[in-house]
């Protein structure tokens, strides 16, 4: 009965990899057990249940994303910061589709408040400091940016833009330019 050395940490990391390979909603405690060559029930010493696993994968993804975004923002401002930030999301989603999907799962308010999600909101606000917006327009703009980034990435990954000219990279660049222009000339109500 050799011990494998399971920990919540290792399980969550493996779960994240599994998500990237087979899709977040195909992540299953059983498959995870199989990968560690261990019986399913053994995982329940480290995880409360299946939902717990998924939540922890989501939190991991949010952390990784926030870390990357913070890195990308360092030393940048204005359109430069905007593009760097946006590209972090898009690149992360492409590299880690399962983790990205995980990051979109609805968390209960308490968990969300303690997650890296708040860093994301702060960083978006930081970017907007490079533009001339005051409250409440800044909040409107935060929400717009979140919508565009999330919406674009999820449509692109879902194949919504597939196989049609012009290519999506071109569209992405033009959208970032358009957003920059919009933020520089944000219309009065």
**Which is nearer to a second copy, 8 or 105 (by Cβ)?**
105
Per DSSP, 167 falls in state: P
Two structure tokens written together for 18? 């599994």
Inter-residue contact 127 to 73 (CB < 8 Å): yes
Specify whether the CB–CB gap between 98 and 16 falls below 8 A: yes
- Quick one: residue 134, left, alpha or beta (phi over 0 = left, psi -120 to 50 = alpha)? beta
Residues engaged in binding a second copy (CB under 8 A): 25, 104, 106, 109, 112, 136-137, 139-140, 143-144, 146-152, 154-155, 158-166, 168, 170-171, 174-175, 177-178, 181-182, 185-187, 189
Determine if 39 is a binding residue for DNA (CB under 7 A). yes
Residue 31 makes contact with DNA by CB under 7 A: yes
9-28 residues near DNA, rule: CB under 7 A: 28
- CB 48, min distance to DNA, A: 7
Q: How far is the CB of 53 from DNA (least distance, A)?
A: 8
SS3 string, 22-71, reads: HCHHHCCHHHHHHHCCCCHHHHHHCCCCHHHHHHHHHHHHHHHHHHHHHH
The option from DNA, a second copy, none interacting with 174 (CB < 5 to 8 A, set by class) reads a second copy
For DNA, the binding residues (CB under 7 A) are 1-6, 28-31, 38-42, 44-46, 49-51
């Amino acid at each position: 009965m050799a011990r494998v050395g399971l920990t919540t940490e290792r399980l969550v990391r493996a779960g994240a990899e599994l998500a990237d390979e087979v899709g977040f909603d195909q992540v299953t405690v059983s498959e995870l057990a199989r990968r560690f060559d261990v019986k399913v029930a053994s995982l329940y010493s480290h995880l409360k249940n299946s939902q717990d696993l998924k939540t922890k994968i989501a939190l991991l993804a949010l952390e990784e994303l926030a870390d990357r975004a913070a890195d990308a923002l360092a030393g940048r401002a204005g359109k430069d910061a905007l593009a760097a930030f946006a590209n972090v999301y898009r690149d992360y989603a492409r590299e880690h589709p399962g983790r990205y999907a995980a990051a979109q799962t609805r968390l209960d308010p308490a968990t969300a408040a303690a997650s890296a999600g708040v860093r994301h909101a702060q960083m978006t606000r930081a970017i907007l400091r490079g533009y001339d917006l005051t409250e409440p327009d800044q909040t409107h703009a935060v929400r717009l940016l979140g919508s565009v980034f999330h919406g674009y990435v999820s449509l692109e990954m879902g194949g919504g833009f597939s196989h049609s000219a012009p290519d999506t990279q071109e569209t992405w660049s033009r959208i970032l330019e358009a957003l920059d222009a919009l933020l520089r000339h944000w219309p009065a109500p």
